[in-house]
Structure 1
């Protein structure tokens, strides 16, 4: 009898438990590379678009089979649990459609097919609601290849963002704090302490984002956020970079080149900067850009090269070192882990990447806890130039989903005390 009651309760609660699960991005298999979202102004892996703008997703499949891929779009709440909206409420038209636009590589050592998906299109006519979305790409056997998050916002609330040095004297030289002012001229917000949620993103990295800070006080129709520690980020350091737009000649960050089955680019060995003085070196905040000389279309004419990374550092017994950047959505996986070479006393890694300009850094991951330390190799310096984005969500009393009503952005190049 007790077992029957337990089974009944489990059957009753299971749908609720499944619905409340927080969704996470799925990283692609090794033969899918260079996942890129493009807009009129940026290229990267975290698109934040105004509702009604075109979403453009591109990626390469390093096979010669011209695979068929299909896309599915889902809407999510602020905390990345599935929203209660049915698909017809947030999507006009159909998804689960085949990606029709693709081209094969031309004049490259590495054969690949380049896929391009634009929304809206003839099948998916429009995305109707603001908020958080996930796009998932499946193959012809209905197996999930990868998934990526994106956001659509309504331009209703004005979001003022400013970057300050940390107000905590213990870390004043290592952290940056983000202040926010949200103005709500265009909408009457009910009980903003409960209905407004915020998300602060540093350098397009959702892994380190600070979420759901409450306004400290209101001034007229403005919500004020001026926290001492809760909105503070480790400042990090400028990213290392390299560029191999010409695979036949050494370029920025490339020491020498060898041609085997593919071109191999050997980068200059990096050294720890944690205990060295800060040096300003302009970067693109962890992003990447596909570039290639003497080409008409870099999408299909840029080649893939084997990039040899090396870091001069003593072996760390209890932690792993990974290469970190927006080229794979700041993911930590076996493909980014460096191996220690006891003969050269260096950490080394070879990665297959498309030609271009890449930012990267080295981070440590604790083997027991999984805790990431972004400053363990590069250090943290308050002078570092970082980009900060602030998203403002609103869920009115009785509403069924979180609207994304405002978006603001600032750079720490204008940091003040």
Structure 2
């Protein structure tokens, strides 16, 4: 037991980069872990937010690029509203065991690249949730618990309050130009909130929700068991642009966004159509999935184990070298800004290029520019257009005086 506690503390240090203040996020720490997904059961494109006490919960899935399975274990950590560990003991937030094997796995079939597909469904027969809030699952090898492979984040809500929201392009910053403004109400006729200005935190994220969330705690109005949040700078968001998209669902023909398909042992290579900056152009509507990706193949209904891995070639033609670093961004990158997503400028093609190994499927993506000393931003390449069909997720957390955790009492999705 002592050894496990020490190992778990080590895992927390690794997951938080050596600082207890760094929040958890969905990400992998090992190059052979691929196609990490956290989904609501039954809806592969829905955000991972499940209702407390319901059997329809969360599904975590991922691949290990290997010929044989590895024995893996997972542990569940309860988190605060900011995704840092809440410090609650296991028995307070789960009913069951909290060191469990990942025993649902399958070998890939009829693929050029061998892999093992793993799946964790929560809740299950071994563990159920006692409390609402944010959660992180830590996955590690059975024989090496100090080596964290990945973290997967999701939320469990109680929906004790009702939420109503509205998005407008007539913002406090501009009028039908480059921004969108969110306003929403929290209604609690059958739930007690004694001091909403002190006890509530509301988190808002956009689309896939990596590193662009805001938190508001002060409502504009408090009246008759209803809170209204509006006309604050934190609820004005850059409008962005529709995500770009491509599909690699077939080995035999070019699909959406694919210029050509070739085989070079040991992989198929999908060369995408050349992309161009869109910031100075006009808005063009496209039906996207707000940054998400979905694994599928035309050749099989068992895509989890029969979809193959392709080398996908991205090219962004900028003409000249730009100041700063250019990155590929989308749910499949998990917000990483490192060598796995950084593009390289090729003076011969006058374009930024990047090859990424991805499982067959349908993908949304965009490009980010990170100038020296600044945060990575999609606007310089993709532009900001008020018409963009964004999705905003609203989470309402309640921590009454004396409570030790952030209870998730309300959740909704607000769409343009």
Deviations 1:168-198 (A, max 9, x none): 3447511111101000112110110000110
Q: Do structure 1's residue 293 and structure 2's residue 295 form an aligned pair?
A: no
Number of residue-to-residue matches in the alignment:
393
Match of 1:54 in 2: 57
Match of 1:22 in 2: 22
Decide which moves more: 211-220 or 297-306: 211-220
Matches within 5 A, 1:48-127: 48-52=49-53, 53-124=56-127, 126-127=128-129
Quick check: 1:273–1:377 contact (8 Å CA) kept in 2? yes
What is the rounded CA distance, in whole Å, between the counterparts of 1:273 and 1:102 in structure 2?
Answer: 42
Quick check: 1:323–1:360 contact (8 Å CA) kept in 2? yes
Match of 1:356 in 2: 361
Shift in Å, 1:212: 2.6
Shift in Å, 1:44: 5.3
Match of 1:130 in 2: 132
What is the rounded CA distance, in whole Å, between the counterparts of 1:230 and 1:101 in structure 2?
Answer: 42
Q: TM-score normalized by structure 2? A: 0.91
What is the rounded CA distance, in whole Å, between the counterparts of 2:92 and 2:395 in structure 1?
Answer: 22
Decide which moves more: 168-177 or 297-306: 168-177
What is the rounded CA distance, in whole Å, between the counterparts of 2:60 and 2:84 in structure 1?
Answer: 23
Q: Do structure 1's residue 161 and structure 2's residue 161 form an aligned pair?
A: no
Decide which moves more: 170-179 or 203-212: 170-179
Paired residue secondary structure (1:230): helix
What is the rounded CA distance, in whole Å, between the counterparts of 1:298 and 1:173 in structure 2?
Answer: 41
What is the rounded CA distance, in whole Å, between the counterparts of 2:332 and 2:374 in structure 1?
Answer: 21
Shift in Å, 1:316: 4.1
What is the rounded CA distance, in whole Å, between the counterparts of 2:41 and 2:80 in structure 1?
Answer: 27
RMSD, matched Cα: 1.7
Paired residue secondary structure (1:43): coil
Shift in Å, 1:39: 2.5
Shift in Å, 1:317: 4.8
Quick check: 2:369–2:380 contact (8 Å CA) kept in 1? yes
Alpha carbons of structure 1 residues 45 and 385: separation in structure 2 relative to 1, 3 Å = closer
Deviations 1:30-60 (A, max 9, x none): 2111111232453259511111342211100
Match of 1:190 in 2: 194
Match of 2:261 in 1: 257
2:346 to 341, 349, 371: 341
Gapped runs of 5+ residues in structure 2?
A: 1-17
Paired residue secondary structure (1:83): coil
Deviations 1:274-298 (A, max 9, x none): 0001111111100011110121311
Paired residue secondary structure (1:72): strand
What is the rounded CA distance, in whole Å, between the counterparts of 2:233 and 2:43 in structure 1?
Answer: 31
Match of 2:5 in 1: none
Match of 2:312 in 1: 307
What is the rounded CA distance, in whole Å, between the counterparts of 1:19 and 1:301 in structure 2?
Answer: 40
Shift in Å, 1:157: 0.4
What is the rounded CA distance, in whole Å, between the counterparts of 1:45 and 1:372 in structure 2?
Answer: 25
1:330 to 332, 335, 342: 335
Paired residue secondary structure (2:340): helix
Quick check: 1:45–1:327 contact (8 Å CA) kept in 2? no
